Amino acid sequence: MSAVVAIALTSLKRFFRDRSNIFFVLVLPMLLVVAVGLQFGDAGSAGQVVLVGSGPLSDDVAAGLEAEDLVVDRLDNGDEAREVVARGRSDAAVLIDAAGERSWAAGDPVQATVIPGSQAGGQATVATIGSVLTTVSDRRAAVTALTDEGVDPGEAERSLASAGDVGPTAVVTTVGDDLGEEFSGLGAFDLGAAQQLSLFMFLSALTGAALLIQARELGVIRRELSAPVTAGQVIAGEAMGRFVISLTQGLYLVIGTAVLFGVNWGSPVATGLVVGVFAGVSAAMAMVLGSLIDNANSATGVAVGLGLVVAALGGSMLPLELFPDGLRMVSAFTPHRWAYEAYSEIQRRDGGVTDVLPQLGVLVAMTALLLPFGAWLLRRSLSRAM
């Protein structure tokens, strides 16, 4: 056993001796957690609207938009707004010019310009803007109708505002999986942290595969084999090495994001188990990759490429809930998807070990398939190296 541990620890030491790994393992994932958190973490936000215009109408519209949970960014310049929308920095823009404000004050109809963005969410935001404009319009119609009946306009507005409990209301019922509720239990950084956790644990183990190849190239493995250890111990040690690298990455991220961003990781035992089992799958995959490729340079490239693509397919870049159905099927073949589900269970619904047993089972099964395969491949390539 001590031989296995010695080989594993040496792997870890060599991994961190490459200083570039310190950036990729320690700094980059944190940066991405922040970036994803800032971008999507504003959970209440339904979208981002640029509003150009100043005056009572613009203020009314802005208030209406904010009441619909849209983030309103007010600008002075229509061209700038057109560009902000064009560059995908906002879902839509509403333009009310000075003439519009004057017409509104005079009681005349006003046409606001609404510019939809081409990015996802643009059209939904435009629909929301439309209903906000209608609401503002209706309220004026009500004031006008009351004024026509001899009610003082100021009085009419105040009374209308206080009569909020009169009249029908619309309530939304969702059927099937509820996305909104799905994400409601999450802090700003929780989702991103869970996604990056899997992505980087997998990536670290796979780039660790380059070390395996280097070890073969350098003849280290041959020397290990010449020491009084069995081939099985060497293979176990190399697998342990990948596992320890991945596990270190995982524990660093869990503890780091909890401390720095207050990410809720739920039950420590359940999270710990998922992290541990996921490190196992990652190590097994790394063994397969490291044995199949015989050049350390291309291994790094393949590792990074495979790591990113598998992560994307497994929900580490876009929440799994937003996947089209076909891709959701594909995602079942990635370990990330099962880890994602397990963390969802833990983070969103306070799940414990028993709640994530199915996911743990799948991950263990994946390891059970990959690890013997990787070990067999490595043994085969070692016997060729002799």
106-145: which residues touch another protein (CB under 8 A)? 108-124, 126-131, 133-142, 144-145
Give residue 148's identity as a one-letter amino acid code: D
The vertex-48 CA angle with 107 and 169, nearest 5°, equals: 60
Binding mask 167-186 for another protein (x = CB under 8 A): xxxxxxxxxxxxxxx-----
Q: Please state the closest distance from residue 126 (CB atom) to another protein, in A.
A: 8
Q: Please state the closest distance from residue 153 (CB atom) to another protein, in A.
A: 12
Q: Does 200 bind another protein (CB under 8 A)?
A: no
In this complex, which beta carbon is closest to another protein, that of residue 177 or of residue 226? 177
Pair of tokens at residue 225: 């084999």
Q: Total residues at the site for another protein (CB under 8 A)?
A: 114
Rounded CA-CA distance 271/153 in Å is 61
Phi-psi region of 150 (alpha: psi -120 to 50; beta: other; left: phi over 0): left
**Residue among 206, 287, 313, 378 that touches another protein (CB under 8 A):** 313
Q: Please state the closest distance from residue 111 (CB atom) to another protein, in A.
A: 5
List Cα–Cα distances, 307 to 317, 360, 366, 377, in angstroms. 12, 20, 16, 20
CB burial readout 305-338, b (16+ within 10 A) else e = ebbeebbbbbbbbebbeebeeeeeeebeebbbbb
Q: Does 317 bind another protein (CB under 8 A)?
A: yes
In this complex, which beta carbon is closest to another protein, that of residue 297 or of residue 383? 297
Q: Which of 71, 64, 66, 72 is nearest to 138 (CA)?
A: 64
Q: 4-23: which residues touch another protein (CB under 8 A)?
A: 18-20, 23
Q: 149-168: which residues touch another protein (CB under 8 A)?
A: 149-151, 155-156, 159-160, 163-168
In this complex, which beta carbon is closest to another protein, that of residue 163 or of residue 255? 163
Q: Which of 296, 284, 291, 274 is nearest to 207 (CA)?
A: 296
Binding mask 24-63 for another protein (x = CB under 8 A): x--xx--xx--x---x--------x-x------x------
In this complex, which beta carbon is closest to another protein, that of residue 66 or of residue 181? 181
**Residue among 87, 102, 223, 380 that touches another protein (CB under 8 A):** 87
Q: Does 309 bind another protein (CB under 8 A)?
A: yes
Q: Which of 232, 240, 239, 263 is nearest to 347 (CA)?
A: 263
Kindly give the interhelix angle for 190-218 and 335-349, rounded to the nearest 10 degrees.
150
Q: Please state the closest distance from residue 82 (CB atom) to another protein, in A.
A: 4
In this complex, which beta carbon is closest to another protein, that of residue 9 or of residue 142? 142
Pair of tokens at residue 319: 């929440």
